[in-house]
Structure 1
């Protein structure tokens, strides 16, 4: 794409319901609305972004009040739970039923850390697709025991307990033994993949990012031997687990993901499918007309998908209906792989937008509730990209985008900045120049970009109110 031509001089492009745009702005908005309407695929069924031949079904069906019956994934059946007792299970030598109880707690913790329970279907831990691994593979079982113990020990200055170390040693012993076997069937099995994913997650918890990188490289080798991500089992959520581990490391390190590099589909995944009717007039048409004319289409498509998903999430939360975890994972994968495989180092606006979308995606899809600032590198990149944009002198940016940029960094950092901090000054400027005088008004503008109420309001509203207080004091009110 050719470099966007920006008008000289940094200033806000203000558009409010009481103002009339010039004829060029009106023409751009009409053009955007016409194209958007023609692009929608009425009633189209969702297909997997990873494996397009696999149908995900209708989003309307996924947004139901009842969880779907999980498909059988292994020849080993998932055990029925009798009260809280797993004593009836036939377990590997050295594993006792109370350990399984602890593992169920781990899956429950993981469930709330991975899926936002406010909008995603709640599937009982025992019914989850990979539960059978716990009773079928000793190496996987020890790795899970290591994970739960490491999670429990995390408050001890990253020092693992003796029990955690024992499970870790046993995991490595069994893993190395299967990797040394001539027959690589077990070495590349789903259970081995689960072991590596769990080891990577614990290394992340311990902030040992070099070890995380080693595990992800090992995971890449196993996946390639299995024929790539598309060759993995789709019924036990294995594709999503691997992609999530790969993407988490990319956000931690700032490197590109290792998987799916040559299989990126750049078109919109959900935005053109008429899945939800949302309107944020006059802000959204104006913003998207501006972006359509100034940014790379691949980046704009990712934003449109993320905006659509945020609207779906707000609707799901308001109506207490639930999204399918399968669709949630596919949307996450499609958006994050596109954003992490783009770069606009020579263009401050596009790079700030790309990093901003990554930052907001991390708060929606990649939450780490057990870590205070899980993506420090991304946070620093976000602040630097905005500061670079702030210092640019040749970019005109519509108010909704600037407001979203400045509010989002407050939300992601989740801290009280100094009133003299450049970010606070910038936020105050945009609120004042746009004549925004209430949180509901600001909220409507933010929702025209990407804003999930139950995720972002908690930090967003106080940040806005603090800015209003600074402006009132400055005006001597």
Structure 2
């Protein structure tokens, strides 16, 4: 009995122990398990004489006031990248970009370029401001000097972590300004350095350097509609967080309406759905309680989900491809959308719109009504940020609301939560679109026989869809 109890206790303990998806040999939440490798100076906190950084040793020509402005920017950018409704806060001086920036003049210039390009904007002819151009040219000059030194056999400077951070900054700035050709060139250079240094898993895990590289790779791929370059081989398809005991959600009878449909999805897509559902429930719990996620754990969840979804493809299967793209669109609302920018992934959204409306008109594919309601509300949340001005989109949403049999937001909300829904992200726009649909339904009488997304009637709790035994990604 003692041996059996010990075995059960170990099994429960292992279930909640989360290992890195990027580097499975590393446990999350225990930074001292792996020796940290740093190539930046230790920053001592001086006494407050003058500014906060007036006694800090800085590269020549850089004033403390510049560093103070950049620290505020770093903190602002972190707020955009990490939803602190569910994540623990980290001080920008202790983690993130600051340690690299403080000891590398190239990193400072790259961040100043990013700041000026964002704040100053572009002229009518597409040119950035003079100050942004100055910092950009200084960044490129220093980077080129390091590349030239590398070609002469001096690899130390080009292999610094701070150099990698400079390139990541340039990638982000190019994406924010819509210069995807420049972003692609920067990502090409970034991944060449990563390969020469021994691959992604050889990167320093402190300050989430691995994740920053993955973000650059993923962000560009989603903008261009291509596959990301990393994890094209040796990818883990099993569930990463679902079934780990991190959260226990109970959606009652609502879950029974969609479970048969989800279980019939292709197994890798099914695992992605389960992980996203677990993350959504975990986010709602963190928002309501003090059980926050560490930024490192949040990042690993993001990377594990997005890489699997972007490496999948179901070109010959309308339903599964629409679900895959819909899950990607949903994930961008949580992981990749900065709260202070109206930035979206136009190519991805266009794929979602095309697939969704083909699905609505498909006579051969039957989708449970709650899932159809979720898909159409997600479309309104991401494209319109509320009610649609498109009559066709409104008509399909009205049909979904009527077929699902929910008359109020209080009835619709638990249905959406049982599928995929994060309250503080989706409630505002979702509720607005739903209430607009219920108001339209009150204005005209609808024949239930015409309210179908297929020529074959189906109960909302069932699906006649049978996925193919095997699919080949493109």
Distance verdict in 2 for CA 1:108–1:391, change over 3 Å: same
Partner residue of 2:52 out of 85, 91, 94: 85
Contact 2:374 2:419 in 1 (8 A): yes
Which SS does the other structure have where 1:445 is aligned? helix
Task: Tell whether 2:188 aligns with 1:217.
Answer: yes
- Which residue of structure 2 aligns with residue 13 of structure 1? none
Contact 1:41 1:272 in 2 (8 A): no
Q: Distance in 2 between matches of 1:461 and 1:262?
A: 41
Q: Distance in 1 between matches of 2:183 and 2:202?
A: 24
1:303-452 alignment, distance < 5 Å: 303-415=273-385, 421-452=391-422
Q: Deviations over 1:310-343 (max 9, x none)?
A: 1000000011432100000000000000000011
Partner residue of 1:227 out of 171, 174, 198: 198
Which SS does the other structure have where 1:132 is aligned? helix
Distance verdict in 2 for CA 1:299–1:254, change over 3 Å: same
CA shift, 1:79, in A, is 3.4
- Which residue of structure 2 aligns with residue 190 of structure 1? 161
CA shift, 1:369, in A, is 3.2
Q: Deviations over 1:101-132 (max 9, x none)?
A: 11101201210111002111111111114312
Contact 2:74 2:97 in 1 (8 A): no
Which SS does the other structure have where 1:180 is aligned? helix
- Which residue of structure 2 aligns with residue 168 of structure 1? 136
Q: TM-score, normalised by structure 2?
A: 0.86
Q: TM-score, normalised by structure 1?
A: 0.85
Contact 2:37 2:204 in 1 (8 A): no
- Which residue of structure 1 aligns with residue 173 of structure 2? 202
Partner residue of 2:115 out of 140, 148, 151: 148
Distance verdict in 2 for CA 1:441–1:259, change over 3 Å: same
Which SS does the other structure have where 2:28 is aligned? strand
1:28-47 alignment, distance < 5 Å: 43-47=15-19
CA RMSD of aligned residues (A): 2.2
Task: Tell whether 2:260 aligns with 1:289.
Answer: yes
Query: Which runs of no fewer than 5 residues in structure 2 stay unpaired?
Result: 1-10, 447-474
Q: Deviations over 1:226-278 (max 9, x none)?
A: 11111100112100100011111111111000112113100000002121110
CA shift, 1:368, in A, is 2.9
- Which residue of structure 1 aligns with residue 5 of structure 2? none
Q: Distance in 2 between matches of 1:231 and 1:87?
A: 36
Distance verdict in 2 for CA 1:40–1:367, change over 3 Å: farther
CA shift, 1:188, in A, is 2.3
Q: Distance in 1 between matches of 2:388 and 2:89?
A: 41
Q: Deviations over 1:346-396 (max 9, x none)?
A: 111101100010001000000133432421111111101101211211111
Q: Distance in 2 between matches of 1:378 and 1:99?
A: 37
Distance verdict in 2 for CA 1:431–1:136, change over 3 Å: same
- Which residue of structure 2 aligns with residue 76 of structure 1? 41
Which of 355-364 and 413-422 deviates more? 413-422
Q: Which has the higher contact order (CA 8 A, sep 6+)?
A: 1
Distance verdict in 2 for CA 1:154–1:41, change over 3 Å: farther
Q: Distance in 2 between matches of 1:258 and 1:71?
A: 26
Distance verdict in 2 for CA 1:420–1:253, change over 3 Å: closer
Q: Distance in 2 between matches of 1:253 and 1:165?
A: 26
Distance verdict in 2 for CA 1:428–1:41, change over 3 Å: farther
CA shift, 1:43, in A, is 3.8
Q: Deviations over 1:415-471 (max 9, x none)?
A: 455566322112111211221111021111111111100000010000000000000
Task: Tell whether 2:441 aligns with 1:471.
Answer: yes
Contact 1:154 1:205 in 2 (8 A): no
Which SS does the other structure have where 1:85 is aligned? coil
CA shift, 1:146, in A, is 1.0
Contact 2:112 2:135 in 1 (8 A): yes
1:132-147 alignment, distance < 5 Å: 132-147=99-114
Q: Paired residues, what number? A: 427
Q: Distance in 1 between matches of 2:95 and 2:372?
A: 42
- Which residue of structure 1 aligns with residue 232 of structure 2? 261
Q: Deviations over 1:120-170 (max 9, x none)?
A: 111111111431211211111111111111121137665422111111110
Q: Distance in 2 between matches of 1:121 and 1:82?
A: 27
- Which residue of structure 1 aligns with residue 454 of structure 2? none
Which SS does the other structure have where 1:467 is aligned? helix
Which SS does the other structure have where 2:16 is aligned? coil
